[in-house]
Amino acid sequence: MADSAAKREIDSVGSDELSHKVKKAKGDSENGQGEVGKESENVLSGFKTSSVLSDSAREKNIFVRGKLADQDAVVILEKTPIREDALAELFSGSRLRLEMRNDIYSTYRLQAPPHLNEIKTTVVCPATEKHVKKYQRQESFLVEETGEDYQSITLPYIQKQSFSIQWVYNILEKKAEADRIVYEDPDPEVGFVLLPDFKWDQKQVDDLYLIAIVHQRDIRSLRDLTSEHLPLLQNIFQKGKEAILQRYKLPASKLRVYLHYQPSYYHLHVHFTKLGYEAPGCGVERAHFLADVIQNLQSDPHYYKTRTLFFPLRADDGLLSKFKEAGRL
Ligand code: DD3
């Protein structure tokens, strides 16, 4: 099966990367990345939970707000998928307690060896009110934004927001995550960096999630795109797909390649996720296929300046208030 081939492949990639990391460890310390992969002292041991922002039994995750050494922090915990290549060890190396037995059916609680029982953990610290809001469970509302609404409501709003995208510049300048880059085209006009989104733990290809971040710094979103950007978009589409085929053995027919509108950060980036994986934000209300974006700009150079675009906003989003104030909701 293609999928298991891909699964096996990612493991060999993983170990390649590991040796790569070990070799690079010295040079990386100047990047502040020397500690990556090592067991670090438990910075979370002093975490004081103040509230649960949201949780999902189905997604097996929880978003927690709290304090880390007097600073506001958000911690995201998520159980990771069970990998096929771990099965043999899971069966042979675990402790098993019987819960119930009935006819041909029995249920157990299996205690896996610690290294097969990891929880993916993301820490945002210091977290701003905006981070906290982002993870608080919220109702959302669909907004209809005309080209004029964008100019008079949305653009002024995002210009006032100073949500830091330092992390994006750190990636582009190799000050962070340099060893995670899957592919780079360094061209200042059509170039980009392709790397795993940190939602993806890269342990299995099933939930593959990469982002292509463009080198150009003045493209905020879909709304800024014109036919001038076609070479950039086509370059990301082609080279991104090629790089993913090479590295993960996933053909374009297994990929969903799209932009978000509204994006969660206003520096142009493209999402590559695996078809069949319901990545957050891949629904029709937020995702715009890169292939469609390219075609739309080919037929109308100012398509995204003039079209009405629809997107969901959360109840507590400041932009939603602006649309209400303008009588657009
Ligand atoms: C973000 C959207 C942004 C909180 C959280 C995530 N992929 C990132 C920093 C480095 C990254 C990402 C903002 C922030 Cl949990 C606030 O995402 C990132 N590095 N999505 C990668 N590779």
- As a whole number, mean pLDDT of residues 110-131 equals 95
Q: Residue 1: what pLDDT?
A: 38
Please give the pLDDT value at position 33.
60
Other Cβ atoms within 10 Å of 160 Cβ, number: 9
Q: Which of 269, 271, 288, 302 is catalytic?
A: 269
Residue 79: phi and psi, rounded to 5, are -70, 140
Task: State in Å: Cα 15 to ligand 1 middle.
Answer: 24
Supply the pLDDT for residue 40. Answer: 82
Cis peptide before 126 (omega within 30 of 0): yes
Q: What pLDDT, on a 0 to 100 scale, did the predictor assign at position 32?
A: 46
- Catalytic residue at 115? no
Closest CA to 50 of 68, 38, 37: 68
Domains of the chain by start residue, with CATH: 1-79+120-136 (3.30.200), 81-117 (no CATH), 138-325 (3.30.428.10)
| Amino acid 10: pLDDT | 55
CB atoms within 10 A of CB 303: 18
Are the CB atoms for 272 and 212 separated by under 8 Å?
yes
Contact 43, 73 (CB under 8 A): no
Average pLDDT on 274-282 reads 95
Query: Which one has a higher pLDDT value, 118 or 23?
Result: 118
| Rounded distance between C-alpha atoms, residue 312 and residue 260, angstroms | 11
Does 228 or 3 have the greater pLDDT score?
228
102 three-state secondary structure: strand
Question: Could you tell me the distance, in angstroms and rounded to a whole number, from the CA of residue 91 to the centre of ligand 1?
Answer: 35
**Whats the size of the chain, residue-wise?**
329
Point out the ligand 1 atom lying closest to the alpha carbon of residue 76: 15
Q: Ligand 1 centre from 168 Cα, in Å?
A: 8
97 Cα: distance to centroid of ligand 1 (angstroms): 39
pLDDT (tens digit per residue) in 8-62: 345 444 333 333 332 333 333 334 466 888 888 899 999 999 999 999 999 999 9
Q: What is the pTM of this model?
A: 0.87
Share of the chain above pLDDT 90, in %: 84
Q: To the nearest whole percent, how much of the chain has pLDDT over 70?
A: 90
For residue range 230-255, what is the model confidence (pLDDT) as tens digits?
999 999 999 999 999 999 999 999 99
Per-residue pLDDT tens for 77-108?
Answer: 999 999 999 999 999 999 999 999 999 999 99
Of 36, 122, 163, 167, the one to substitute when testing ligand 1's pocket (max ligand atoms within 8 A of C-beta) is 167
Q: Tell me, what's the pLDDT at 34?
A: 67
Q: In the prediction, which pLDDT does 22 show?
A: 28
- What are the two backbone dihedrals, phi and then psi, of residue 59, each rounded to the nearest 5 degrees? -85, -5
Q: Looking at the CA of residue 170, tell me the nearest atom of ligand 1.
A: 10
More confident residue, 21 or 222: 222
- From 124, 170, 198, 268, the mutation candidate for ligand 1 (largest count of ligand atoms within 8 A of CB) is 198
> Atom 16 in ligand 1: which residue has the minimum CA distance?
131
pLDDT of residue 16: 38
pLDDT score of 162: 77
Lowest mean pLDDT among 128-132, 189-193, 231-235, 294-298: 128-132
Exposure string of 40-49, with b = 16+ CB inside 10 Å and e = fewer, is eeeeeeebee
Residue 142, φ and ψ in degrees, nearest 5: -80, 130
CB 262 within 8 A of CB 222: no
Residue 191 has pLDDT above 70, yes or no: yes
Closest residue by CA, ligand 1 atom 9? 167
Instruction: Report pLDDT for 35.
Output: 81
Q: Using the 8-state DSSP alphabet, how is residue 84 labeled?
A: G
Q: How far is the CA of 326 from the centre of ligand 1 (A)?
A: 31
CB within 8 Å of 168: residues ≥ 6 apart: 213, 265, 267, 269
Q: Which residues line ligand 1 (CB under 6 A)?
A: 122, 124, 131, 167, 177, 195-198, 264-265
224 pLDDT above the threshold of 90: yes
